A = this chain, B = another copy of it.
Amino acid sequence: MKAGAVELGHASKVTQRGVNRGMSILDLFLRIIAIIATLGSAIAMGTTNETLPFFTQFVRFRAKYSDLPTFTFFVVANAIVSAYLVLSLGMSIFHIMRSRAQASRIALIFFDAAMMALLTAGASASAAIVYLAHKGNTKTNWFPICQQYDSFCHRTSGSLVGSFIGIIFFILLVLLSALALSRR
């Protein structure tokens, strides 16, 4: 009877370790997708550059992402977050091998939350500007620029997608870390 109980306890421990390892592998997987998403966003925005086919003797109509400081912030934020995610892969692999690690998980959850805030800040600030570029605002006399710079607008709008995917993944990563901390 006692041996059976011990065996049962051992079996449940092995199962639990398996579940923990599974969660750590999922964590690694989510991070890799988030790297692709945020890096893709940074590159898509950072290479946005449209020159209109008509020009006068003095003026060339050209739109670059760096004409709007918010878009520059977007590129920097996405680059920082993807660099952080690459570094955090090491931690994630460490957690696959050592599923009982605690202090490193707490550090990771803290930095994940901070990086999520940075990514959200960049993405939503740019979303506000993209919205303005599309719709303009009559009260403040800010006119939409998307009629002229059509491809510029499409490109900047599209590059937001990766960032917002990244935000959802960060929320899932925080949840996964919390689950892993609670199951030891």
Contacts and interface: CB of A to CB of B under 8 A. Distances in A.
Contact of A179 (B106, B121, B141, B143): B106
Contacts of A102: 182
A142 interface: yes
A68 interface: yes
Given A121-B120, A125-B124, A145-B140, A106 B175 contact: yes
Contacts of A139: 63, 67-68
A105 B67 contact: no
Interface in A84-129: 102, 105-106, 109-110, 113-114, 116-117, 120-129
Contact of A117 (B70, B109, B122, B171): B171
B178 A128 contact: no
A177 B105 CA distance: 12
A175 B122 contact: no
Point out which of A105, A139, A142 has the most chain B C-beta atoms below 10 A from its C-beta.
Answer: A142
Given A105-B182, A145-B140, A175 B128 contact: no
Contacts of A140: 67-68, 133, 142, 145
Contacts of A124: 120-122, 124-125
A155 to B, nearest CB: 15
Contacts of A29: none
Interface string A151-181: 0000000000000000100110011011101
The 9 closest A-B pairs by CB, nearest first: A125-B128, A121-B124, A120-B120, A67-B139, A181-B181, A142-B142, A109-B178, A124-B125, A113-B174
Interface of A: 63, 67-70, 102, 105-106, 109-110, 113-114, 116-117, 120-129, 131-133, 137, 139-143, 145, 167, 170-171, 174-175, 177-179, 181-182
